[in-house]
Structure 1
Amino acid sequence: MCRGLQITMVLLGLLGCSPRQGTMARHVQTLKEELFSQINRDRARYGLPPLRWDEKAAEVAEEHCREMLEAGYFSHWDLSGRKPYQRYALAGGTEYNAENLGFAFYRPSGPGDHINVRKAAFESYRGMLAERPPEDGHRRTILNPHHTHVGIGIAFSADRVYISQLFLSRYVKFDPPPPKRARPDERIPLSGEILKEGYSLQGVLVFYEPLPKPRSPEELESFPKWYGLPDRKLELKPLLPPDKRYQDGSRGEVKVEGKRFGFSLSFPEGPGVYTVVAFLKDPEGGSFPATEVCIEVR
């Protein structure tokens, strides 16, 4: 279940002086809009539906860019030790998500700084789209047919720019919203509804990993250039009628009624992060992950 999302770094030699943060804000907002439009143009070239802008994803992406800029590191992990899907869940997100990161040096040139930031950002993006298998994690993320939304964050200093694209797959709504934290002895009821016609629940995987711990910028620089869900997981299957059984003798755990589904979540591994990934079937029969609900158990 590893996404294999990699990090791209572009070292650019552009022209020369220090950016003016106040006057750059409008240009940065325009740059986000241009990158958003370019993503949708590239998706259209491959017959894929356009993405919608998501402000929460943009805020999470922007916060990570600012932290990387201020602390002087470049990693999918943050200083708290969390991965992108854990950060997004902590902000209240429940959708499956995937992060592309870009970083570029540039040489500022006074009043025209925004032009150089823009050029650096688009060089980074074009590098992602030009990737070839098997090292094409960014490209596959941009062109994932099941993504529905994206948010973009940008942070820059006098000579460098950080960019995060956070892609979402919005197909399920949880009601009530899942808790962000729980105790090891709790059982949490989760109830979701599939939002789109023609999609159905295939099953649920619950992934387990240890609680995150704070990391230094130096540690983060040595971390892998990709991230994914952990190996330890538990499968929850749709509940069968009383007279039917799965091969392992169980009836399943997830109650499904039309577009709605629900189950009770326990925490058998004790303290840690439990990530609930609901897999859906699309109208063509393909399977894909649609949720990433993270609950920190302490």
Structure 2
Amino acid sequence: MSNILIILISLACITDFQEAFSINGTSSLKILQSYALSKINTDRLNVGLNPLSLSDNKAAQYHASEILQSEILSHWSKNGLKPYMLYSLHNGTGYVQQNIGQISYINTDDVMKGMTSHSFCTSDSRLYCEPLDPFDAIDKLENSMMFDDFLCCHDGHKNNILNKLHTNVSIGIAFNEYYFVLVQNFENNYLRYNLSNENDEYLLEAKMLDPKKNLQLSHISFYIDNLPNEREYEVNKNKLNYSMGDLGLIVSKPLEFYEQYVQPESYRIIEAENWDILDDRINLSFKFPDDFVLNDRIITMVLYAANKTMNTSTHDTDEGTSPREVVPLTSYVIHNKAVLRFD
């Protein structure tokens, strides 16, 4: 997952105070989001990738607004939700990967001491902090993510922006005079599906949105996280990146009667009760093992598909074939009986 990006603005200490920057009356959050999208798509088009569409999922904006209140840049929400949990709660059905960045006049240590950019910039009449221009802030953050990301984050932000598998992005923007935060939630939307539970048997009915992508379902993975709460936030809020929870279970295609899956030590592989795939339509059913107890945990379902397109980042095998990419299609949180809501 992508790392956190922080840009600290240098100060100009002068005696004259200038009026704070304010957005033109014709501007709005949608205009800023469209501008941020244009910067992303310019970077993608420059390397030959398809442009992304703006997603209407509200998780990124919720997250940005929450960060603005605390000025603590974190992938975790204040109630302990990871990005894919928050995305799923806002009715997201694809797979999501997050970039976040901020522009601030103070560093994290100052924030932990209770200081804010506003309190710092107004603490001394001799100190002048230039009010932030949100369009300029978007330019600076996008440029840093693309061209100054290796030392900070091993190009995690850049790789997320230039991931050829992404189809959409939802953008969260929140700011005041002296602080700006940007949240980019990149999405893979290849599948429309419905998951239901009847007598402890899960039924998955799905349809590939674009058959031309040549995606074929490979397996379903289930990741396990602690229940989200304020303690989870306090423990994890300063981490520079996040990941899926612990892999607990994989549901895969039924084998012939004389075959069986080799069981890893850290998770289990089970066969689906039904595995019916015809062209772009998918109908599956499966049951969790009786000892797969999850009443006090969060379960996230990730469907993976094999991409028949050649993976250019790997070499061909001796047989002349190329390894297949595995494409994550969902990051959907399953509400088990003990977890009806997260707050």
TM-score, structure 1 normalization: 0.83
Q: How does 1:6-45 map to 2 (within 5 A)?
A: 6-13=3-10, 16-20=18-22, 23=24, 26-45=27-46
Q: Distance in 2 between matches of 1:277 and 1:223?
A: 26
Residues of 1 paired with 2:334 and 2:236: CA distance?
A: 26
Q: Please, which runs of 5 or more residues in structure 2 have no aligned partner?
A: 13-17, 106-128, 264-268, 310-323, 339-343
The match for 2:288 is: 266
Distance 1:178 1:125 in 2: 40
Give CA deviations for 1:148-191 in whole Å, capped at 9, x if unaligned.
0011110001210111011000111113x568xx9xx9443232
Find out whether 1:255 has 2:290 as its counterpart: no
- Aligned-pair distance for 1:20? 4.3
Tell me by how many angstroms 1:221 deviates: 7.4
Give 1:82-121 correspondences, 5 Å limit: 82-105=81-104, 107-109=129-131, 116-121=133-138
Of 223, 227, 231, the match for 2:238: 223
Count residues in correspondence. 280
Query: What is the RMSD computed on CA atoms of the aligned residues?
Result: 2.8
CA distance in 1, matches of 2:26, 2:334: 35
The answer to whether the aligner puts 1:212 opposite 2:228 as a matched pair is: yes
Q: Is the 8 A contact 1:12 1:120 kept in 2?
A: no
Task: Say whether 1:190 aligns with 2:204.
Answer: yes
Q: How far apart, in 2, do the equivalents of 1:222 and 1:270 lie?
A: 25
After superposition, the Cα gap between the structure-2 partners of 1:55 and 1:292, relative to the gap in structure 1 and judged at 3 Å, is: same
Q: In the superposition, relative to structure 1, how do residues 28 and 90 fare at CA in structure 2: closer, same or farther (>3 Å)? A: closer
Instruction: Say if 1:78 and 1:220, in contact at 8 Å, map to a contact too.
Output: no
Shift of 1:283: 2.7
CA distance in 2 between counterparts of 1:35 and 1:265 reads 43
The one-letter code matched in structure 1 to 2:46 is R
- Asked which structure has the greater CA Rg, the reply is 2
Higher relative contact order (CA 8 A, sep 6+): 1
Report the CA distance shift for 1:89/1:100 in structure 2 as closer, same or farther (over 3 A).
Answer: same
Identity of aligned residues (%): 24
The residue identity in structure 1 corresponding to 2:59 is V
State the Cα deviation string for residues 36-88 of structure 1 (Å, max 9, x = none): 112111111222111111111xx211111111112332100001100000001
Separation in 1, partners of 2:190, 2:167:
8
Quick check: 1:245–1:251 contact (8 Å CA) kept in 2? no
For structure 1, the residue ranges without an aligned partner over 5 or more in a row are none
